[in-house]
Chains A and B, each alone.
Chain A
Amino acid sequence: MRLRLITLALAIVALASLTLRAQNGQNGYWAPTGPTHEKLYINSGEADINNLTIVDVATMKVIKKMTTGKHPHGVASPKSQDVLYIASETEGTVTKLDTINDEIIENYGGWGTEPQESDITPDGRFLYQPSYAGYWNVFDTQKKEIVAFIHTLGIGHNTLIDPQGHFAYLFPIKGGPGHWRRPSLGLPRTQPNEVTIVDITKNHQVVGTIPVGDGPRPPIMSADGKRIYMDVDRFMGFLVIDVAARKVISRAAFELTPDEKAASANGHAHGIAIGNKGKEVWTNDTAHDATYVFDVTVDPPKQLARIPVGRGPYWIVPSQDGMTMFVACPASDEVVVLDVAAKKEKTRFKFPAGDHPVRMIDLAVPIKKQTSTR
């Protein structure tokens, strides 16, 4: 009887852990180990000052504004969630932030052209920082130096590291004439329609690719590491990837009217998140100012809702419990807060005109200082 109870308790703990992992930020999967303070970090793309807004999620109040490098693009935090790395596109720097005190610790340079959307291993050791110039820098946070460069055929853009810290998935965008107008940047003109897989444990070696049919766009991984859901060029919807098989297994298309289809035939979704205990994928329709919800417990995923948001929704992250979604709408300078259960708007944060909030991450920051990954 006692053994049965212990087994049951262990099973509940394991299940809770998995569930919470599914509900963390865009790049995180982590259940906190002690008391935490949930905070949402919002980067404003065009603000000269106060381009980082920190929101207390419990009260939905802004608690601090800070200034980091201009045009912040990448955000990544390890399992400990006591530090946050923010890449500045135009300054070519990465700012390391102490999230307990919300203070800048250090700035790093030398990333190459326009650092983009990064991710970090769960232990905080290796930051995978893409450069627009087509490669990823692997930054050893202990040695404070770049220990590897990984080249793909496309422009370095989005990154995903699995919950075990075993594989990194690199998502180069295809780019185009607009990106190439600055030849001095040396941007690659090859336009791969694939995701590059790197084995972190084998000295950051490329071990495979996943063809996705068009230019990769923002991805997210399920908590169990079995699925990647990703946006892709020229598709109003998202792809489902079987991680073990390394292939696309289904395509989930938005339900659009004929007029909407005719207005966005070459468009794509942008920003993707997992919510509601891993059962739903939420992704944005920039062309029609909406966020879509899909049931991913079935294959192909089934559309559950279409929620009007602000203009040009471009990024989305869930709260720690996965029951709130934050949608950044840079064109109307606001972040719309959505109730996952009700599929309705709860509130919205308005930003100064022209600040253009985009990238965000929701963190469960330890309240008391604990063993850090720094």
Chain B
Amino acid sequence: MARPGINIVRRTFLGFSLVLVGVGRRALAQSVDVSGYAPLSRPVRVPLDSVATPWRTVPFTAEATSVATAEAPARRVVLKGVLYRKTMEDGASGLSALCVTCPHELCPVDLVTDPQRLARMDDAKSPLFECGCHFSKFDAREDGEWVSGVAYRGLFRFRVSAAGTDAEITHIEEEALSVV
């Protein structure tokens, strides 16, 4: 039979532990911002010069940590992405960074810019990403939005912004971390 003093110490220790676990989980949850993006383990920087030409993709690799769930513990996730400069119909341009792993079955997707090939793709008017395995298509101008095929959603998006002479990629859509 345990002594009363030891029981109090045990209870206090247990209580503190539960508080710590709660705080830890909350802090982890807060690392995913309200817009559904999670921070990369470290930002990826790509010289802006390398994406001066529209629709030329620059590959990069990013890293993040998934949030632990009841089904799966937190884990390190390596993501393959491309950065490119898109041009809009009105001539404006902007940067886009997308994960090039298809959300359907994790096959590689590639950017198609050849007008002849695009014409074969339901007469597409602007560049598309296409999955090599099941041929889902995603709109490159609309940041990887789903166009057709069995993929259940568009390509996972990175958050990218200009930082001096570089493009800085800092976040990934949180859902990517449980899918890839």
Contacts and interface: CB of A to CB of B under 8 A. Distances in A.
A67 B158 CA distance: 41
Interface residues of B, number: 32
Interface stretch (A35-43, A121-129, A160-168, A259-267): A259-267
Interface string B75-109: 11111100000000000000000000101111110
Interface string B98-131: 0001011111101010100100110000000010
Contact of B112 (A178, A354, A358): A354
Given A263-B78, A354-B120, A45 B106 contact: no
B135 interface: yes
Nearest to B114: A353
Contact of A311 (B103, B117, B132, B151): B132
A331 B133 contact: yes
Interface string A326-337: 000111100000
Nearest to B112: A354
B150 A179 contact: yes
Contact of A267 (B106, B132, B150): B106
Contacts of A186: none
A331 B107 contact: yes
Contact of A312 (B77, B107, B117, B149): B107
B135 A314 contact: no
B123 to A, nearest CB: 13
Interface in A74-93: none
A181 B150 CA distance: 8
A259 B78 contact: yes
Interface string A243-261: 0000000000000000110
Contacts, number: 80
B86 to A, nearest CB: 21
Interface residues of A, number: 32
Given A262-B75, A265-B77, A286 B107 contact: yes
Nearest to B80: A263
Contacts of B29: none
A110 interface: no
A311 B108 contact: yes
B152 interface: yes
A183 interface: no
A2 B108 CA distance: 62
B23 interface: no
A181 B110 contact: no
A266 B179 contact: yes
Interface in A314-356: 314, 329-332, 353-354, 356
A interface majority secondary structure? loop
Contacts of A312: 107-108, 132-133
Given A265-B180, A331-B133, A354-B112, A48 B104 contact: no
B77 A262 contact: yes
Contacts of B101: 287
B135 to A, nearest CB: 5
A195 B22 CA distance: 42
Interface in A235-289: 259-260, 262-268, 270, 286-287
B129 to A, nearest CB: 12
Nearest to A132: B150
B150 A356 contact: no
B180 to A, nearest CB: 6
B135 A46 contact: yes
Nearest to A287: B106
A213 interface: no
A178 B106 contact: no
A34 interface: no
17 contacts: A48-B120, A178-B104, A178-B150, A178-B153, A260-B78, A262-B77, A263-B180, A265-B180, A286-B108, A312-B108, A314-B132, A331-B107, A331-B110, A332-B132, A354-B121, A356-B135, A358-B133
Given A71-B135, A262-B76, A312-B132, 14 more contacts: A46-B120, A46-B135, A177-B153, A178-B151, A259-B78, A263-B77, A263-B78, A266-B106, A286-B107, A287-B101, A311-B110, A330-B132, A354-B112, A354-B120
Interface of B: 63, 75-80, 101, 103-108, 110, 112, 114, 117, 120-121, 130, 132-133, 135-136, 149-153, 179-180
